Amino acid sequence: MIEVEERNGIYRIRVNNPIPPVEFNFQGEKVNKIPEGLTIIEGENSIVVEKKLELEEHIVGLGEKATELDRRRFKYVMYNVDAGAYKRFQDPLYISIPFFISVYKGKATGYFVNSASKVIVDVGFTHYSKVIITIPHKDVEIYVFEGSTPEKVIEKYTDVTGKPYLPPKWALGYLISRYSYFPQDEIVKLLDLMKEFKVTGIFLDIDYMDSYKLFTWDKEKFPDVKKFIDEVHKRDIKIITIVDHSVKADQNYEVFLSGLGKYCETDKGELFVGKLWPGNSVYPDFFREETRKWWSELINKWLNQGIDGIWLDMNEPTDFSQYKEGEDRLLLAFPKNVVHYYKGKKVYHELVRNAYPYYEAMATYEGFKDKEVFILTRSGYAGIQKFAGIWTGDNTPSWDDLKLQIQLVLGLSISGVSYVGIDIGGFQGRGFEKIDNSLELLVKYFEIAMFFPLFRTHKAKDGIDTEPAFLPDYYKERVKKVIETRYKFLNYIYSLAVEAHNTGHPIIRPLFYEFPDDENTYRIEDEYMVGKYILYAPIIEKSDKRIVYLPRKSKWMEFWNQEINEGWVNSKSDLPLYVREGSLIQLDDGDLISFGDVEIKGKAVRRERKIMFNTPTYVRNLISEFGILKIDKVITEISL
């Protein structure tokens, strides 16, 4: 049985009365046909959805995938896994978002399969001219989004799955992390060493806990927690603590006792006891409303001591009880006999696995109550953007990883997740092959991430120090230039976070997002747009220059020397940065970027290309705090 509803170009297709893993708010009118081009084939225990793949069609999205941004010619697995020291083409990774956009002959169409099971999306791999989606159960909910551009599709997708949450402005600053910082006095000393680099937040990894028990402090490493929190806050720096999903199975542990009746079980009704950092561990069943309420109270109590943010890790969810080093990392998933209780029904874990971190993030978000929300999560599902940002997990420092990280971040960005970033410097330490600990590579990581919404260094225990305070002068100055340039544009970046929160538009974007009719842009994966007005082309090779593609539908001003260009150009900068014609941007230091025709009160005003230094106070007062010019009265006093 197939039912189809439609509203404003959004179709919802329900096959065999499904109970979707996440219920999204949608109400449409019943229609009598499936959207054009889709074929639905029902098997005994599966559903196959097919659509034709045209020769000149582009398929983009699918979230965190370690391939080219145009996803053709690969078979993708949607199944969250602790990917470890992953590399290019490894699949799956940490997060599953079964949503993609087709762009063909000027038309964009989005497809979202609301299944949190092991969905396979085969994009012209098995069959040259077909997209084949295999769903391993006999009922499913599918959405189709019609749109003229990728932007219109993402607007509709986030209308259904939710608009991105708005991170606090400090979360767009430079954040530092390590596995792990301690004891408390050394952390304070480190923050003082890092003062010139304008750190706005510090992450604490699992070693701050007592025996890895959630919501506890190790009293030897943090003997005076209140003093520590006060010292950090005195420096205008926020504290973000890691919180895993593993509750130590210890009858003398208050959190464990308070959660009895709310943990995951086996299909025999027994408590599922697995293994994670604390040893024998149980795991909250976040699919239950009562579990989420219990968790949100724990989070709120934890935050009340002065903690500013929560970092959710290992929440694919990962369990160590089946896995041995070197084996298939899918064995890090829960065993097949684990069940959840969802809407009063018992559901096997593998059918809803990918939604586990979604509900954990929801419960964590609710725990902030009236507080300013900051949540970063390693895993998630479609709609995770409502509650948290994402980072790309345990990347390995290498020259190849530089380009891969740009691809991963952009893939997430056009899949609804706007607050996204990487472990700058690469997470892995010295325990893996082909680790490159060169200072040149470290600087390149800072450079590629200059405009990533999440700007955070993070490193494993056996890794080098990535904080720029420890670098030789030459490299320190280069990192400082990156940080200073980012801070110049911080209000502009925040304006894009506000835009994302209101519309679903990504903060950073592949070139084809802004220029979908330019075929060149679909293979440009080492450049990105920052909103509509800034193009950034970091140098990712062992070189001091590169060729940059500037889409020809606009003219572009080079930020550093004000030269005008379009098309293929040789960059002359170590940080190739270009301003799009028609932009007017207030920088945080008071300077003003003006280039081309700018519209004020609906009228185009011709302006000379220029960076206006030492902008007069009365001009600044006419410009909104969010960076983009929004003027309620016509400027007559100045000429730009």
Quick check: helix, strand or coil at residue 358?
helix
Total residues found in the chain within this entry: 640
Quick check: helix, strand or coil at residue 341?
strand
Query: Are the CB atoms for 595 and 557 separated by under 8 Å?
Result: yes
Query: Are the CB atoms for 193 and 237 separated by under 8 Å?
Result: no
Which has the closest alpha carbon to 20: 167, 173, 138, 139? 139
What angle, rounded to 10 degrees, do the helices at 439-448 and 399-413 form? 10
Is 597 noted as a catalytic residue in this protein? no
Residue 484 neighbours by CB under 8 Å, 6+ apart: none
Q: How many helices (H) and strands (E) does the chain have?
A: 13, 37
Q: Measured between alpha carbons, how far is 10 from 23 in angstroms, rounded to an integer?
A: 16
Q: Measured between alpha carbons, how far is 394 from 72 in angstroms, rounded to an integer?
A: 26
Structure tokens at 616: 């007069």
Is 50 noted as a catalytic residue in this protein? no
Quick one: CA dihedral 580, 583, 589, 590, positive or negative? positive
Which has the closest alpha carbon to 16: 46, 37, 38? 46
Quick check: helix, strand or coil at residue 241?
strand
Is 313 noted as a catalytic residue in this protein? yes
Q: Measured between alpha carbons, how far is 564 from 554 in angstroms, rounded to an integer?
A: 10
Choice among 207, 244, 394, 401 that is catalytic: 394
Phi, psi of 232 (to 5 degrees): -70, -45
Q: Write the single-letter amino acid at 331.
A: L
Residue 363 neighbours by CB under 8 Å, 6+ apart: 286, 291, 292, 293, 295, 296, 299
Quote the DSSP letter at residue 284.
B
Q: Measured between alpha carbons, how far is 50 from 132 in angstroms, rounded to an integer?
A: 5
Half-sphere exposure of 250 (CA within 13 A, CB side): 15
Quick check: helix, strand or coil at residue 479?
helix
Q: Measured between alpha carbons, how far is 186 from 232 in angstroms, rounded to an integer?
A: 12
Q: Measured between alpha carbons, how far is 516 from 151 in angstroms, rounded to an integer?
A: 10
Which has the closest alpha carbon to 351: 360, 362, 340? 340
Q: Measured between alpha carbons, how far is 619 from 443 in angstroms, rounded to an integer?
A: 36
Residue 163 neighbours by CB under 8 Å, 6+ apart: 385, 386, 500, 501, 502, 503, 504
Which H or E run includes 110?
A: strand 107-113
Q: Measured between alpha carbons, how far is 574 from 538 in angstroms, rounded to an integer?
A: 8
Choice among 151, 308, 313, 319 that is catalytic: 313
Q: Measured between alpha carbons, how far is 552 from 567 in angstroms, rounded to an integer?
A: 5
Q: Write the single-letter amino acid at 141.
A: E
Quote the DSSP letter at residue 68.
-
Choice among 159, 265, 316, 525 that is catalytic: 316
Q: Measured between alpha carbons, how far is 91 from 408 in angstroms, rounded to an integer?
A: 12
Query: 39 has which bridge partners?
Result: 50
Active site residues: 313, 316, 394
